[in-house]
Structures are given as C-alpha cells and as structure tokens.
Structure 1
Amino acid sequence: MAEQRSDKPEVTPFQGPAGGWGSVRSLAEIMPRERVSPEAVRELGRQNKPEGFACVSCAWPKPADHHPFEFCEEGAKATAWELTTLRTTPEFFAEHTLTELRGWRDYDLEQHGRLTHPLRYDAATDRYVACSWDEAFAEIGATLRPLDPKSVVFYSSGRTSLEASYMYGLMARMYGNQNLPDSSNMCHESTSVGLKAAIGVPVGTTRLEDFEKCDAILFFGQNVGSNAPRMLHDLRDCRKRGVEIVTFNPLKERGLERFTDPQNPFEMATLRETAISTQYHQVKAGGDIAAMMGIAKFLVEWDDAAIAKGTTRVLDHDFITDHTSSFEPFLAAVRAAEWSAIELESGLSKYELEQSAAIYAKAKAVLAIYGMGLTQHVKGVENVRMLVNLLLMRGNIGKPGAGPTPVRGHSNVQGQRTVGITEKTELVPVEKLEAQYGFTAPREKGLDTVETCRGVIDGSVTAVVALGGNFLRAVPETAAMEEAWPRLGLSVQIATKLNRNHLFPGKVTYLLPCLGRIEQDVQASGPQVVTVEDSTSCIHGSRGKATPASPHLLSEPAIVGALAKQILPANPHVDWDAWVADYGTIRDAIEETYPLVFPDFNKRLFTPGGFWKGNKASERIWMTPSKKAEFLVPSGLSATGFQDAPGRYRLMTLRSNDQFNTTIYGYHDRFRGVKGTRDVLFMHRSDIAEAGLKDGQIVALESDAGDGIVRRQEGLIVTPYDIPRGCLGAYYPECNLLMPVEHHAEESHVPAAKSVPVRIAA
C-alpha cells in the first residue's frame, strides 16, 4: 500500500533511470493493491501481441517483431486497473450518498473497483440504485426523443473501439446532430487542424520503421517516460546506432534523460543505462515557436553563407520549389526575427539554439516527435505549423526516416476520427452515409469540447451521453461545470468504474457499466473482436479473453445499439441487432463507408504490426487547396496568448508517473520524487526566493485570466524544481479549475493547459 496518500508527503529527488528496477517495483506494488487474479497476470503476456489485446492506455504502435513482454509500466497499470477483482456494487451505493462521495478523491473513487450493475440516480435518497437494462434504455429513449437534437451531446472517450465509435457517430447523425466531442478535442485537435492546413492530412506521416531510418530526432513537449514508455525501446535503439536526439521540454523528464531496459537481463543486472537525449533544452512554457524560429534563423544564415561560398546548400531548395507554397513570406519573417526576442521568449541562449540547428542541418532524415507541450497553448496550431515549417525547410516530410510524429494519448483517439467521431462535416463522407443508410445527415458543424462546456454552463445543452471518459473532470472551468451539470435534463454515463463525473447527476441520470476491452465479449455469433488505430495510422485487432467483472455488463456496441433502437425510428438499412450479434458486420459497414481506408477489413484484423491506412503526405501528395505543402508565418514568438507581467506565472498542468489522463493509479510520481500527495507546486528556486516563499510552504494559486471570475486552487506545497523561471508545474486534473473555458487554442479549441496565467496567493 506504499502508493497511498499520506498525511506526511515526501518530495525527494529521484536518482534512477526510467524503466529499470523502479518499473519492476511499481508493478509489484500495484498488482496486490488491485488484487488481480492469476488470470490477469496471464493476460499481460497477450498485451499488444498479434491475436492478443491492444493496450487500453496509450496509442504507441504495436510492433510486428514484438518483445517477450510487450507492455510498459503504465500499460501494465492500466491492465491491472481494468482487471482488478475489486467491485463497486449496488450495496456500496446503499451505504453512500453522492453528496458524501463528492468528498472522496479521484483515486479513492476508481480504486473501489469495477461497476457491476446498471444504475439509476434516485434524487429522493441521493443514491444510485440498481435497475434493469430495459428500464434504463426505455427511460433514456423517452427522455431523448422529445428533445431538440441540437441540444444533445454525444461525448466519447479515446478508449472506445472503431466498431463502437462508428455506431455512435452514425447514431448521433441519424438522431440529428454532429455534437460529437471526444478526447482529441482536449489534446491533439491542434495537430488535426495544423497538419491538415500545412500538409493536407490531419495525422502524422511516419511509421514505426522510420525509427530505423532516421539519423536525428527533434523532440518537443512530451513526457515519454510516463505517457508512452514503450517508445523508450525505439529511442534506445536509435541512440545505440548513433542517432542524435535533441529535446525541447520545460521540465527535465527522466525518460528523456536515461533509460534502463527492464527486458534486458544484462542492463538490469549491471544497472546499465542508455542516455536518451544528446541535447536537452529547457524551453519556457509557450516558448517553442521562438526556439524553432531560432533554429530556422541559423539554417537561413548558413544557407546564405553557402550561396556566397558556392558550397552545398543547407536548405532543400528543390523540395521547397517543387513541393511547397508561401516560402518567401516565411523566409522574410525568419530574417526579420530579432535574436533578443528569440532568447527572451524561448528562455534559451543563441548558443544553445545554434547547437540544435547544427544537428538538424547535418542530418539527412529527421523525425519531429511532439505531444501536448505543443498543442495545448493558445497558439497551439501555430506551434504545430512552425514545426512543419522546420521540416519543410530541409525536405523532411515524405521520405524514409523523416516527418511529423505526434504522440497520441488514448489508445484509439485517432481511430475514432477515422470512422466519424467528429463535429466537422468536412471530415466525414456524409453523402456516402446518406446513400448507405437512407437518411439526411446534418451539415452544420456540431459542438466540440469547449462549445459543449459553454452550452452546459449557459443551459443550451440539455443532455449529455458519454461513451466512457470522465468529461466533467477532464475539461476546464471545473467549478462552473460542476455547478451547471445538475441542470441537465439527462446525463448518461457509460463506464467501467466510478469517477467524479458520475457524482453530479442531471434530472434523469443513468450509470451504465460496460465490458472492458481485455474481457471476453460474447455475442450471438460467439466471441467478438474489436479494432483500434495507433498513433501511426496502423489498425490492430484486439481480442479480449479475461472473465468479465460481472455477468450484468454489456459491451459498448451492445449499449450503443440498444440506445439507437430507442431514440431512432426503424430504418430498413440499419440492423443494429445484427451488428451487435456479429462485429464483423460492423466492419463490413465501415469498409463500405471508407473503402480506400479499410479494404478487406475483416481479413486483415491481426496483421502483425497492424495494417496501415495510408497517408498521402508521406507520398508527397499534398491534399491542400494549393496542392503543395504550406509554410506559415507565425503571428508572434510566444504561444501563450497572454503577456508576461510582474507576479504572473505560466502554469503547466502535468501528469504524474502514477496516472493515465484523469485516472489516478496512486500517489507516487516516482520520476519527480513526489510520494504521498498530488498537492504540489513545482517552482524554480529563484522564483521561490523572489516571491518571499519557502520550500514546503502551503500556498494557493489564483487564475490571472483578467475576466473578473475568481478561480482558486488551495493547499499546494511549494516544491523547488528544475523548471524555467516564470513557469510553474502542478497536477492535472486538479488544477483544471484555474483554466477558463475561453483559454483555448485558436482554431482548434484545445484547452490551453500548458500555459495558464496564474498568481500565487500565500
């Protein structure tokens, strides 16, 4: 029980590497805490393997040539979390009101175990009570049918399979809206918007084999050790063959510093480590545009010098001429950028940026890996576009070992978009759906996450159906959202475990427990298989074999099919029951809708390494209006969207080593040395002294958004940390309450959680 919250938290610098014995000890602690059965331990051997199941946490690719144990510390925690033998039964709710449970912490709610029965909220007793599935579906249908479809939201989590996602998106459109916000709205929508505008596709262009062909990697704003640890094997292999890895990240994250492979007996026995980053630059939060502009400025200066000397050019002018547009305005902006402004905004010296540029200039094939450290800013789309600018300058898109490599979080968040979970009409073949299913699809844009939050707060959203996730906890403006949620006419939550969103009922509320992906899903035609898409656009089959947590659980496709029959008129072109009976028929329908993406879908489910859906930009076919890749002139050097001022800090919300998104596995952020608490505020020592604070002092943070609304987070422990001056770090989702709904990325509406303006209140 060493991971539990403590009244005497410890903050002690961690000296070890990522991986290694620390990972082994972490797994040894979580397994008994979740009281996993021998069956669950056996399931780990099937994780991310052909004919096995796709991990329910991150979306890093599943290699064809897999390791003996193809799971990481975080993936094993996710499996233990899902296959726990702990249970949250109707008897639990008979003992606890929702008012009481709102005083519990996130960890304690989910740690109580898997939900076992469908539940209805009883306002008279302030409790959930068991109900039948028929009762639940009937009342949900009766409540939804009379509503204005435009006032209803269908949210989905990135863990949902391609099959359930396709059904869910079709159901929403047949009901009459495209209000389909999902996890992408909260993290990588800036990627979808930025890459689509720049290179014509909304996803990265690289695949796992490109790691074997690159000779340099630029790494921006992604904590690989906690968020996608299996990538460490690929980074380690790159370093072993001499690949330079240049990292830009505000915090020194251990996975980007050094790694010991837990599957390598020699490394484990000798405590041998692999240094990951060859250069590590602690850019200020929101300073990435400036850093990239500095690199670009060196490339241009060196190219000018090469012209004067008649030596080999630094920029790939043939590629720029043949494949790009708008280079001249960008070039002018690079020449005009002042070094003083670049250094100020990036927090890096001209010398540091020169060292980075030198690596990039000599490399022939460069991967640009990034995460939410780029996307979750007001200028997040410009961050992505600036990264593309760098790649285009040297032709590093559309050749082996090169290209943008966004790292997705949820295991199928990219795949959901592929099969229609989007609020944007232009991303869905609506005419094809209309011909296929004989209905008129909505054309107006639906609500994304930010717009859904606005609608819940102002009352224009009257009902929310959530297919997984913890929406109310994951979004910004926590206090206002929790106050407004009970005004909803209907709240339907499809989940595996209890979370905080479930404690804020609407006027009619149902909590519907579903099977997990690792559990055996048996329908009328027999055991079923589902599919997911990874970060590199490869599709994988996933076969659950574990014993379900309860005989009363339904699968996600079964729940969606039952809801669709309740809220939609009968349609001879859609047989929801047949789809639920045999998921292969859903895949046939997906193939009919997307024939170029899913040819022979059912025949390729368990292709080792997955089957690739293709990517035009990787072939240097640019699906942009100009038919070329587009350079962009950024609007400024800062991505924060606000001005620095005395007493104002840039807050980054962070994930712990002991969590996955809103799911908290424990209270031990091993890599940052925090144990027994999540109530910490990471600060630079000089900022602590300048503010008149002390190590260990308890302070509050207040929003400095300038909108007159009081947002305050109490009880944070001042903790000295290696972090850029003027920047703060604190944990997500606890600090979401400091972020206004309107503090989001321009164009993409991603909440700007990596640079929130705040002040410290002692």
Structure 2
Amino acid sequence: MAKQRSDRPEIAPYSGPAGGWGSVRSLADILPREKLGPEALAQLARQNKPGGVMCVSCAWSKPAKPHPAEFCEEGAKATAWELTSKRTTPDFFARHSLAELRGWKDHDLEEAGRLTHPMRYDAASDRYVACDWGEAFDAIAAELKALDPKSVVFYASGRASLEASYIYALMARLYGNQNLPDSSNMCHESTSVGLKAAIGVPVGTTRQQDFEHCDAIFFFGHNVGSNAPRMLHDLRAARQRGCEIVTFNPLRERGLERFTSPQDPVEMATLSETRISTQYHQLRAGGDIAAMTGIAKYLVEWDDAAQANGEARVLDRDFLDQHCHGVDAFLDHVRATRWPDIETESGLSRTEIERAARVYAQAKAVLGVYGMGLTQHVRGVDNVRMLVNLLLLRGNIGRPGAGPTPVRGHSNVQGQRTVGITEKTELAPVEKLRELYGFEPPSEKGLDTIETCRGIVDGSVRAFIGLGGNFLRAVPDTGPMEANWGRMRLSVQIATKLNRNHLFPGQVTYLLPCLGRFELDQQETGPQAVSMEDSTSCIHGSFGHVTPASPHLKSEPAIVAEIARRLLPPNPSIDWTGWVADYARIRDAIEATYPDFFAGYNARLKTPGGFWKGNKAAERVWDTDSGKAEFLVPESLSATGFDDADGRFRLMTLRSNDQFNTTIYGYHDRFRGVKGTRDVLFINVKDMQAQGLRRGQRVSLVGDAGDGQERRLDGLIVTPYAIPVGCLGAYYPEANVLMPIEHHAAESHVPAAKSVPVRIVA
C-alpha cells in the first residue's frame, strides 16, 4: 500500500489564508486518492442541507439557508474517507497479523479502506477471521451474561446518531449499569459541568443567528480553521459588518487570522481575504483564567470610578442584582488580585489586556466562543466558569448576539448526552425510563473515561463495547493502556474502518462493520433516516443514499438492537425488532422520554436549519440551587494544575488540518507549514536557544508529572514557531503517551491535554 508519509519531511512557513486555493488543492488531493465514484462525489452537494446528509465530522451549526457548497475542507475529507472505494476484506486480515499491523501508522490503518465483514479474533493465528452475524451476536450476549454488569463498559463515539445512542444507553441500563463514557468525557465535559453549575444548563445558550447580532466575539482556545472551518463564514460575515473579534490562543492559528471564502468567486479570483481577529493575544497555555481576571479587573475598576463620579455604570448592575448570585465575592476577589500576578500567569501585559477590556466594555452584545483550549486543563471547569463570570458582568447571557458558545467536536457528541449517554444518574431520565419500560434504572454513578482507564489498568473492567471511535488511541497513558487491554475478557468494536484500538484484542474479540452515515440504510419498512444535535442545540435529520460499501454491513441501531435482543429478557414495552424496522418508532420513544426537547420529533426532521430543543438559560431562567446565575471565585490564576520549574514545559497536544480527532487523513499540516511528517516539536526560538537546540534537530520529550512513571516520545523535529516561551506543541494522539491518566480536569475528569508537564531530552 502506498504511504503518503515522506522520508524527507519539509517544514517551512505557510503564507496563505485559511480556505482559498489551498483548501481547493487539499480536496483535489484526497478525492482522487480515495478513488471516489460519481455517486459518492454527488453527496458533497447534499451535505449539511435540509433533507441531505449531516457531516460526519464537526458539530458546527447547519444553516437554514445553506451555501451552494455547504461543506468545508475537513468535512469533504471526512466524506471522502468514509465513501472511499478501498476495502478491508477478510483477505486483508489473512495477509496481515495484528502484530504486524501494530507497526503501521494510524493513517495507513484507516487508509486500507472500509471494513466489509464481521470478524472474530483468532488468537492461534493472531488474525481476524470472518464470522457470521448470528455467531457474533450470540457469543457477545453469552459473554455479557457471564460477567458482572458493573464490570462492563459501553463506550460511544460522538458520531453515533441519536437513534443509536438512545437504544444503546437503554440497553446498558437494562443490563444493569450506566458505565456510559463517551467522546464528551475527553473534550467538553468541563463545559457540561461548568455551565450546569453556573447557569443551570450543560450546553451553550447561543444559536447561529446570534453571530448576526453580536458587537464583539471573544475567542478562547479553538483552532477554527482546522476543527470547524464552516464557522469561518459566520466569523467573516461578522467582521464585514464591523464586529470586533478578540482572540486568546497560545498559537497563531491561520483560521483566526485570515480567511478567503471558497464560496466567493471574487475573493478567489482576486486572491483577496478577510482579516478575522482584530486583536490576537498569545497567552501562555493555561493562562486564560489570568487573562479573563485581568479583563474583569479593568471592568470593575472602571465601574468603581464611574460610580464615584456619577457616570454611566460599566457593569450591568440591574442584571447582576436581578439574575446573579455570588457577585460581591467575585468582585472583591478581582479587586484584590495583583496585576503582576495576572501578567506573569497570562503571559500578557496590562496594555494588551486593557485593549481587550475596552472592546468588551464598549460592546452591547458579546459571544464567548471557545474550544478545548479551555476545557482540557486541570482547572478546565474553572476556565469555563471564568468565561461565564466575564459574560455575566455585562449581562451577556440571554439576549440576542450574546452568550457562551462552546464549539463541540464530533457531529453528535452533544446530542448523545441529550438522549442518555451519561454515567451520571442526575442527568439520566430515571423516572421516565421507569415509567415507560417498567424497570428500576441503575442509581449508582457509572464509569467515565478516566475511571474506565483506571479499571482497564487495574483489571476491574472486564469487557468493553465500543460504539465507534478509537478509544485506546484517544485516551492518556497509551503504553499502560495498550499493555493492559488484553486482560479484558471481551472487546467488541463497532466500526467503519480499521484503527489502532482494534489491534489490541481481549480474550474474546469481535470487530463489527457498520453502515456509514452517507449510505442507504434499508430496513423492513424502507429507507431510514437518523438524526443528530449540533453545537447550538439544533436537531437535524440525515438521509443516506449511497450504496453500502458491502452487503454484509448492518446499521448501528440494528447491531445494538440485536445484541440487546439476545442479552436481555423480553420486555413487553420494548420491541427491538420493530424499532429497527422503523427508526421513527425509536424517535417516538425518544420523544416520550424527553417531551420538552423532542415534541413533534418525526414531523420536524427536515426543518431547515434544524429544530431547536430550547434552552432555559437563553431565556434567563436559571436552573441552579439559588435560582440565579452563579459567579465562581477561581482557586488559582493558572489552569495547569502544576507549578512551573526549571526545564519544565507546558505541552499542548494539537491537531493538524489533515486530521479529525484520531483520524489522520495525511501527513501535511498546511497552516503550520509541515509536509510529510507528524514528528514535530513546536517551540519558541528563545527556548531553543536556552536549551541549546537547533532547527531540525531530533529530540525526545519525557513526562514530568512527578508520579515516578516513565513516559517518553522520541524522534521529534525541533521546529521554531510563534508559541509562548515555556510552552511546546506536539501532535495528538501521538503525544498522549506523555499524559498520565490522572492528569485530568479536577471536576469533569477531562484529560488535561492542553497543559502537560514535560521536559526536553536532546
């Protein structure tokens, strides 16, 4: 198989904008490489449109009035990756043992193509061998019946539909547990915990139309050009009408600097571009709390002066008095915080922070947009709540153009939590499940991602069912996790393509191939639709049309239902077979379980722009203990959770624009000027000089968590980059080997991948 990776990598600055002809050339590379036929190519025209197919990658909002081409470079890559004509057949596994495949790169494993047959691991030959579906379902059910339900984990990737997620969560609870970790545990659980405590809802309060009404956008810790490029159209439109965009991010990301819209023929023809950020502040990794405290300190100082002089107030005192709790304690904290401490921890000067604060003070409506640069820290929940503090100071929640706007990753990761994929009893619809299905749902908390990792390492987790994803590659402490995976009795992976997780079998292991979202899902009553929720709480239907990659594939709902039917005793209120025959019946069950969110579910499936499930905080109704929005006094100005020390760096794990989460489309990171490799260490020139390093030198990183465990990543190419002093960047998931399982957000358990303590070994 041809490998795209180069033996002679090139690393040089990239001068182009996000989007533009660079995006077009990137698509021109991947589409023929995946050997797509006309049927597959036609799907791009239907992507993210009413009655079409919702993208399998990012969760950004889908507009009611879409562009002619409502897909981005990353979405098109994801589409090509799924609709590839390449196939991973039983003959492929006959040629390659798992020991051999463990030597392949992540890109090359998935590049082998779509899985075509259900497979069982044969330990004697160290190979997967074909089996029939009935054999697989019977064996899986028999193994699960023999295990303590509390020892079984049901993991869900954020790509699974609402329909599949609902019956998957129901199956787990009927079986006897709610060990239901998902992609949110790895990325935005800090959002769910932080927003729920602060404003009473676990999701953002804004919708896409709010971008048309804001005066300013404050952007924290998100690489929009690589992770949600379609948002660039909203940012471009906001800038063109004069909206200020103030960005706080350790790295200068091209998508937050300049953008050329591929949808605009004039911009493309004239090579013109839109400047996105009006201010760009490169703060230290983990310095967001300090930066936001500095902005708040200016606002409070100006408000104190205005009050003393009888002038118009800077803070929205009417809103604070009517809607907020804990205001005075927070204001006292801000007044008492010293400027030298703010500057040291943020890495920004008072002048820079004042510039940002003046924009915030003058804006009538502010969006707080953020990604995992806030959530993936030891104090990630404090990061999220500090942003809420800032928004509350001027009443920027619950009015047009204002509010917290978390940008989720996977296309349905937010929706899965809505329909029951959660380990937390308080978030599960316990009363409704008891009423509808006549059983007693589990009352004890289940395992989240970090707790699942602990259980795999210590042996208490005996089985892992994976509804999509690449769990073993996405989690921290890669070495111990891979070493202990085989101790489990059962490993079941439901997937479209081969990935590294599949190469580490349990004692009994099945690899079950499923339909992709673009493929025709033909069931007893005809073609079926599925649905998902985007980052702005809008629900969209998705209608696949492409001929499946293999006649042996089953849909995710069908696979889950068949396991459940064999595993669980009959329940007169559940017809697993009937639900699979007609997914509308699953949606009826979801509506019955969550009537406030899903009223008229089936009738609204083709609503342009999706239908909004509603949000109490957006209406200034606060579902908190106090009945008001809650201010938080942060414990520290640093979100890292560790102290600085000589030779210790803050490592940020990064994604290239040639990947989506653990899926690696290629070895080029165009915006950072990297070609042919992922073995890169981004470092400030001053740190290079202090460490005695030279450009292009190969070095190693070693973990510096202080827990006595050895963690090492070798062969990284020293690459000078615009990154704050004391901070480093390296690619995810390769750098996960350096991150301990216990290096996670204190309250949410999200792996703290944006500030990992490491040292450089030359």
TM category, shorter: over 0.9
Partner SS, residue 75 of structure 2: helix
Deviations 1:545-600 (A, max 9, x none): 01100000000000000010121111111100000000000000000000111001
Deviations 1:428-465 (A, max 9, x none): 11111011011111000000000000000000000000
Q: Does the aligned pair in 1 maintain the 2:650–2:757 contact within 8 Å?
A: yes
Q: Does the aligned pair in 2 maintain the 1:3–1:675 contact within 8 Å?
A: no
Provide the rounded CA distance (Å) in 1 between the counterparts of 2:737 and 2:587. Answer: 40
Provide the rounded CA distance (Å) in 2 between the counterparts of 1:407 and 1:652. Answer: 18
Deviations 1:595-619 (A, max 9, x none): 1110010000010000000000000
Q: Does the aligned pair in 2 maintain the 1:2–1:29 contact within 8 Å?
A: no
* Runs of 5+ unmatched residues, structure 1: none
Provide the rounded CA distance (Å) in 1 between the counterparts of 2:218 and 2:352. Answer: 14
Q: Does the aligned pair in 1 maintain the 2:494–2:514 contact within 8 Å?
A: yes
Provide the rounded CA distance (Å) in 2 between the counterparts of 1:714 and 1:497. Answer: 28
User: How many Å apart are 1:366 and its aligned residue?
Assistant: 0.2
Residue aligning to 1:671: 671
- Which AA in structure 2 matches 1:702? V
What pairs with 1:128-527 in structure 2 (closer than 5 Å)? 128-527=128-527
User: How many Å apart are 1:2 and its aligned residue?
Assistant: 11
Q: Does the aligned pair in 1 maintain the 2:21–2:262 contact within 8 Å?
A: yes
TM-score, scaled relative to structure 2: 1.00
- Which AA in structure 1 matches 2:641? G
- Which AA in structure 2 matches 1:178? Q
User: How many Å apart are 1:678 and its aligned residue?
Assistant: 0.1
User: How many Å apart are 1:37 and its aligned residue?
Assistant: 1.0
Provide the rounded CA distance (Å) in 2 between the counterparts of 1:37 and 1:733. Answer: 31
Partner SS, residue 25 of structure 1: helix
Provide the rounded CA distance (Å) in 2 between the counterparts of 1:534 and 1:710. Answer: 40
Partner SS, residue 180 of structure 1: coil
Provide the rounded CA distance (Å) in 2 between the counterparts of 1:3 and 1:571. Answer: 51
Deviations 1:19-78 (A, max 9, x none): 000000000000111111111110100000110010000000100011000000000000
Provide the rounded CA distance (Å) in 2 between the counterparts of 1:429 and 1:35. Answer: 45
- Which AA in structure 2 matches 1:617? A
- Which AA in structure 2 matches 1:257? E
Partner SS, residue 285 of structure 1: coil
Partner SS, residue 491 of structure 2: strand
User: How many Å apart are 1:81 and its aligned residue?
Assistant: 0.3
TM-score, scaled relative to structure 1: 1.00
- Which AA in structure 1 matches 2:674? V
- Which AA in structure 2 matches 1:217? I
Q: Does the aligned pair in 2 maintain the 1:63–1:609 contact within 8 Å?
A: yes
User: How many Å apart are 1:187 and its aligned residue?
Assistant: 0.2
Provide the rounded CA distance (Å) in 1 between the counterparts of 2:353 and 2:258. Answer: 22
Residue aligning to 1:51: 51
What CA RMSD, in Å, does the superposition of the two structures yield over aligned residues?
0.8
Residue aligning to 2:754: 754
Q: Is residue 2:695 matched to residue 1:711?
A: no
Partner SS, residue 218 of structure 1: strand
Provide the rounded CA distance (Å) in 1 between the counterparts of 2:170 and 2:204. Answer: 26
**Once structures 1 and 2 are overlaid, which stretch shifts more, 1-10 or 404-413?**
1-10
Provide the rounded CA distance (Å) in 2 between the counterparts of 1:347 and 1:2. Answer: 45
Provide the rounded CA distance (Å) in 2 between the counterparts of 1:428 and 1:464. Answer: 21
Provide the rounded CA distance (Å) in 2 between the counterparts of 1:673 and 1:269. Answer: 23
Residue aligning to 1:529: 529
Q: Is residue 2:123 matched to residue 1:123?
A: yes
- Which AA in structure 2 matches 1:282? Q
- Which AA in structure 2 matches 1:662? T
Deviations 1:357-401 (A, max 9, x none): 000000000000000000000000000000000000000000000
Residue aligning to 2:66: 66
Q: Does the aligned pair in 2 maintain the 1:174–1:441 contact within 8 Å?
A: yes
Deviations 1:206-238 (A, max 9, x none): 000000010100000000000000000000000
Residue aligning to 1:97: 97
- Which AA in structure 2 matches 1:323? H
- Which AA in structure 2 matches 1:732? Y
User: How many Å apart are 1:744 and its aligned residue?
Assistant: 0.1
Residue aligning to 1:575: 575
Provide the rounded CA distance (Å) in 1 between the counterparts of 2:256 and 2:123. Answer: 50
Provide the rounded CA distance (Å) in 2 between the counterparts of 1:761 and 1:567. Answer: 52
Provide the rounded CA distance (Å) in 2 between the counterparts of 1:495 and 1:223. Answer: 27
Partner SS, residue 169 of structure 2: helix
User: How many Å apart are 1:721 and its aligned residue?
Assistant: 0.3
User: How many Å apart are 1:3 and its aligned residue?
Assistant: 8.7
- Which AA in structure 1 matches 2:410? H
Q: Does the aligned pair in 2 maintain the 1:186–1:449 contact within 8 Å?
A: yes
Q: Does the aligned pair in 2 maintain the 1:3–1:666 contact within 8 Å?
A: no
CA 1:123–1:461 in 2, change beyond 3 Å: closer, same or farther?
Answer: same
What pairs with 1:544-559 in structure 2 (closer than 5 Å)? 544-559=544-559
Q: Does the aligned pair in 2 maintain the 1:58–1:409 contact within 8 Å?
A: yes
- Which AA in structure 1 matches 2:691? A
What pairs with 1:592-611 in structure 2 (closer than 5 Å)? 592-611=592-611
User: How many Å apart are 1:291 and its aligned residue?
Assistant: 0.2
* Runs of 5+ unmatched residues, structure 2: none
Q: Does the aligned pair in 1 maintain the 2:698–2:716 contact within 8 Å?
A: yes
Q: Does the aligned pair in 2 maintain the 1:206–1:402 contact within 8 Å?
A: yes
Provide the rounded CA distance (Å) in 2 between the counterparts of 1:281 and 1:53. Answer: 37
Provide the rounded CA distance (Å) in 1 between the counterparts of 2:391 and 2:573. Answer: 46
User: How many Å apart are 1:196 and its aligned residue?
Assistant: 0.1
Residue aligning to 1:76: 76
Provide the rounded CA distance (Å) in 2 between the counterparts of 1:599 and 1:302. Answer: 47
- Which AA in structure 2 matches 1:591? E
Q: Does the aligned pair in 1 maintain the 2:189–2:749 contact within 8 Å?
A: yes
What pairs with 1:713-728 in structure 2 (closer than 5 Å)? 713-728=713-728
Q: Does the aligned pair in 1 maintain the 2:651–2:755 contact within 8 Å?
A: yes
Provide the rounded CA distance (Å) in 1 between the counterparts of 2:477 and 2:234. Answer: 38
- Which AA in structure 2 matches 1:525? T
Provide the rounded CA distance (Å) in 2 between the counterparts of 1:688 and 1:332. Answer: 41
- Which AA in structure 2 matches 1:492? V
Deviations 1:320-372 (A, max 9, x none): 00000001110111001110010000000000000000000000000000000
Partner SS, residue 597 of structure 1: helix
Which 4+ stretches in 1 moved above 6 angstroms? none
Residue aligning to 1:26: 26
Q: Does the aligned pair in 1 maintain the 2:3–2:108 contact within 8 Å?
A: no
Partner SS, residue 715 of structure 2: strand
Q: Is residue 2:739 matched to residue 1:729?
A: no
User: How many Å apart are 1:311 and its aligned residue?
Assistant: 1.1
- Which AA in structure 2 matches 1:442? P
User: How many Å apart are 1:161 and its aligned residue?
Assistant: 0.2
Provide the rounded CA distance (Å) in 2 between the counterparts of 1:610 and 1:653. Answer: 33
Q: Does the aligned pair in 2 maintain the 1:3–1:667 contact within 8 Å?
A: no
- Which AA in structure 2 matches 1:434? R
Identical pairs, percent: 75
Deviations 1:51-109 (A, max 9, x none): 00100000001000110000000000000000000000000000000000000000000
User: How many Å apart are 1:279 and its aligned residue?
Assistant: 0.1
CA 1:2–1:149 in 2, change beyond 3 Å: closer, same or farther?
Answer: closer
- Which AA in structure 2 matches 1:463? A
- Which AA in structure 1 matches 2:575? D
Q: Does the aligned pair in 1 maintain the 2:261–2:267 contact within 8 Å?
A: yes
Provide the rounded CA distance (Å) in 2 between the counterparts of 1:303 and 1:594. Answer: 44
- Which AA in structure 2 matches 1:594? Y
Deviations 1:705-749 (A, max 9, x none): 000000000110010000000000000000001000000001100
